[in-house]
Structure 1
Amino acid sequence: MAKELIVIESKKFLTAYTDDGIDPYIKQAKELVANFDYDLSTATSRAKIASLSSKVSKFKVKLDGVGKDLVAEWKVKAGLVDKSRKKMREELDELRDLARKPLTDWEDEQKEIERLNAEKLLAEQKQAQVDQDHELAIEQYKTHLREVSDKKIADELAEKLLLEQQEIDRIARDEEIKQQAAADAKAEVEAERLKAIDDKLKAELSATEAKVKAELLVEQAAKLKLEQDWLNYISEAYT
């Protein structure tokens, strides 16, 4: 049995690791393992199985090591390339910026002009809003003054009407009191007049009654005297 599973020439390693060139070698290794004829009943055959497995492992390690070496070499070259690329990008970026600087400066100036114009427009809009708010506040204040003035006039008119009504009510009360006083005085005079008449009538009635009583007494006395004289006459006549 060969010492190595598969022999690959050094010059073919680069090709093996590019353009999927490693696949044929893996396929070949699989075929060797698949076609391996073994007999587990003999120590020699079992040793060959172990040797085959070891060769597969060593083949893997060898291929991986070669790949690492290639990658390390590529990394060194890639680092040099990246360094050159970085330098190229930086210098060409500077050259690009330098070539565009006049236009960039002009664009920056235009942006600054636009910014200043925008700030000016915003300031004008704010001032216009302030002026509008100020005018609105003035109109609202004027409206408030008119409302206050109208309310003051209305209050003054209402107060005037109230005072006039109070004066009318006072005059009416005074007139009512005056009329009541006059009526009371008239009633008192009338009551006194009627009382005087009543007193006079009572006095006249008393005098008339006294006269009538006196006349009646005189008449009764005369009648009694006449009766007494008659009785005396009769008595004397029959004595």
Structure 2
Amino acid sequence: MSAQQQLITVDDISEENAPAIYVLGGLKPFLEHTRSQVCGEVPDLTTRKGRERIASLAAEVSRSKKAVENPGRDYLRRLKEMPKVVETELREFVTEMDKLRDEVRKPLNDWQAAEDARVDRHNSAIAHLKLNAQDLDGITAEDLADRIAKVEAAPLGQQWEEFEAEAARAKDDSLKVLRTALAARQQYEAEQAELARLRREAEERAEQDRIRVAQEAAVELERQRVAQEQQAAREAAARREQELIDQAAAQEREAENQRLQLKLQAEQAERARIQAEADRVATEQRMEQERQVAARRQEEAAEQARQDERRRADAAAAEILHQQEARERDEAHRRSINRSALEAFIAGGMPEACAKQAVTLIAQRKIPNITIAY
């Protein structure tokens, strides 16, 4: 660098000294001077001051570039006879200065990219923790228990760096929501199982009652049938005995008219046979009617027992459903009021996580003298 160039800085470039500067190789001293100024330092990227210093050095390179480029381009427009030389020199100078600026700024850019990736990684992991406590409608108790185990297994520690407290809150909040949902689901499934058991027991009792009534009716019918047969046999024997007595008396009284008596006896015997046959048919018809009446009464009693048991089971199921619906309405009502309180806290400037914690503590009556009116 000549003595004149040594005395000229980027701030001293003017129209008068431009012919001595914007020549082939004339801008290299400025490039080397700028490089020596910015490359001699090694700022500490672990400190904010160091990172700001790198940004400042890169900005100084850009300023020096503009301080040389702008006068040069003005000079170039005036020197129509040397456009190619000046343009080439300026292009190379600008390219090298841009490269130098990018080279100087690269550690800061690399650090910022790594920092952004690290923050995104922690935020993604926290969002994944929270995701386990969302969309819980219709999930079985077994699935909820799996989610709880997964969240409980999530490690906490120094690997979270400055996000450890937020990760701990996300884990704790997710576990509270999941455990509450698990308790509610277990209660619901237990109620459903109990309802099914009551229905099975009701059906079994109804079937047992039907069998018992049928057996009792069959026994009673058989008893009546045997009694009727015995009564018919006694009546037939009595009639036969009476006929023999009448026949003997008639023979004694009318011995002289034996032929007529024999004829009369034959007629009486025929009438007795017809009567006995009529009595037998009537007895069988009466027994059949009584059997049908008993069977009909048996069926009516069994049907009445089934209807009574069904009404008792339906009433028990309706009561369980009514209690369950009342609990669900109460829970929905409480969630709506809690959600309104949460939105009010957030609208008042409180962070969402803090607002959720505040609503939860108040709802659990852990804050003295403060309650939520449901």
TM-score bracket, shorter-length normalisation:
0.3 to 0.5
Q: What's the TM-score, normalizing by structure 2?
A: 0.31
Q: What's the TM-score, normalizing by structure 1?
A: 0.46
